[in-house]
Structure 1
Amino acid sequence: MTEQQTQQRIDENWQFVKQQVCETARASGRDPDSVRIIGVSKYVDETLTRALTIAGCRDLGESRPQLMWQKSQAMQDVIPLSWHMIGHLQRNKVRRSLRCKPMIHSVDSKRVLAAINEEAVLQEVCIAVLLEVNISGDQAKTGFLPDELEAVIEAMLDSNIKSGIEIQGLMAMAGWGTDLTAARRQFEKTRELRDRLELASGCPLPELSMGLSGEYQAAILAGS
């Protein structure tokens, strides 16, 4: 396949996904512009990632910090471009990752949250984070349990703590082997949890990052 053919195929796929997102958002009574599409580029090289940005995608998700570092360095000419860390972030990779100024979707423990906050303060940046919640209760999955989150948010809102982060919402994935109906219910539970946390903390939590590529329509219908 030639470079031109590859670009055409990516353009067509991007337009198809955008149309699906628009139709699903409207079906749920939402403004399509309220849904942000993140292109997960973790399986492709810089050339294909760049082709995706040419098609129109300006939010890119990576699950491996090293790939985010490499691509963000190589693609500094692509403006605007926002990076999203969607995989587990080890504490020893926080410092370099924050230089990309990503939204971090996968904050799954107090230790990781504290490490991000400490480094953000040192770098004098404000990093948007989402708290990963284990909404399915699967023991094999990472993330906070739902009843842990209120205390975590309250601790970060403590006026005595210098903050370099902004908690903007929750991230959740459906349990292993879950069909779309059950997945949508888990996403709805995540939205309901977010709503309760907003009321309890007084902290706006506008972002819900939910589902995988095959579940994005169910996630949108549930509020993602």
Structure 2
Amino acid sequence: MVGDASAALAARWQALQQQLPPATRLLAVSKGQPAERIRALAALGQRSFGESRLQEAEAKQKALADLPPLDWHFIGRLQANKARGVLRRFGTIHSLDNLPLALRLQRIAVEEGLQPRVFLQVKLLPDAAKAGFELEALDQLWPQLQALAPLQLAGLMTIAPLGLDSAGSRALFASCAALAARLGLPELSMGMSGDWPEAVAAGSTWVRLGSVLFGPREA
């Protein structure tokens, strides 16, 4: 059974790699997955993994410490009191969604001697369930956000509202790509298991894939 599960995981990873264009990288969303499944993907060549809970990620990183360094991305809602721990454990943060948090991350990064890559989470459609910079606020705050060194502004991240159809997702991702181009940001974190083809078509450079890669989570 274990061998069958590993073979199925490898087959899904290889199929996704074949479907993604060279400009799009796969972020394996490993939250809720055991460390051994991360180890199996690392053996295939996957280096980038996404987690959303600091304590869970810390345990996995310790369990995988014998591997060559992996590329850890924080993709969850970042609480201010977890900022230092996240900065110490993750090289990239996909969910920077407000200015006070940005300033806190900047201060801690200076104190810790870190230069994390961050994606600004944007909310381009009404969605009570999602955080993020709305367009008008982002434009107003842009001069302050550009001055956040040593934080490295990598790009924009967005999440489609639940229930958005394929055409709506394509339009949302295209709008996000146009905004990133206007701001001079090179990367786009767009697309999850249910809408990654639409995100890739719009130019996403990172797709965050969990269930389509790992299959159902283990109990």
TM-score, normalised to structure 1, is: 0.86
RCO higher in structure (CA 8 A, sep ≥6): 2
Structure 1 counterpart of 2:203, which letter? G
Structure 2 counterpart of 1:140, which letter? A
Deviation at 1:5, TM superposition (A): 2.4
Which residue of 1 is the match for residue 174 of structure 2? 188
Which residue of 1 is the match for residue 72 of structure 2? 83
RMSD: 1.5
Question: For 1:63-212, what aligned pairs fall within 5 Å after superposition?
Answer: 63-158=52-147, 163-198=149-184, 205-212=185-192
Unmatched runs of 5 consecutive residues or more in structure 1 = 22-31, 199-204
TM-score, normalised to structure 2, is: 0.88
Structure 1 stretches (4+) deviating beyond 4 angstroms? none
The percentage of aligned residue pairs carrying the same residue is 37
Mapped to 2, the partners of 1:184 and 1:156 lie a distance apart of: 27
Mapped to 1, the partners of 2:175 and 2:111 lie a distance apart of: 36
Mapped to 1, the partners of 2:183 and 2:128 lie a distance apart of: 23
Deviation at 1:11, TM superposition (A): 1.0
Identify the match of residue 195 of structure 2 among 211, 215, 220.
215
Structure 1 counterpart of 2:162, which letter? W
Say how many residue pairs are matched.
204
Deviation at 1:101, TM superposition (A): 3.3
**Contact 1:69 / 1:97 at 8 angstroms: preserved in 2?**
no
**Contact 2:99 / 2:145 at 8 angstroms: preserved in 1?**
no
Map Cα deviations across residues 104-132 of structure 1 (whole Å, 9 max, x no partner).
00011112111111111100010100000
Unmatched runs of 5 consecutive residues or more in structure 2 = 205-219
Structure 2 counterpart of 1:38, which letter? L
SS at match of 1:214: coil
SS at match of 1:104: strand
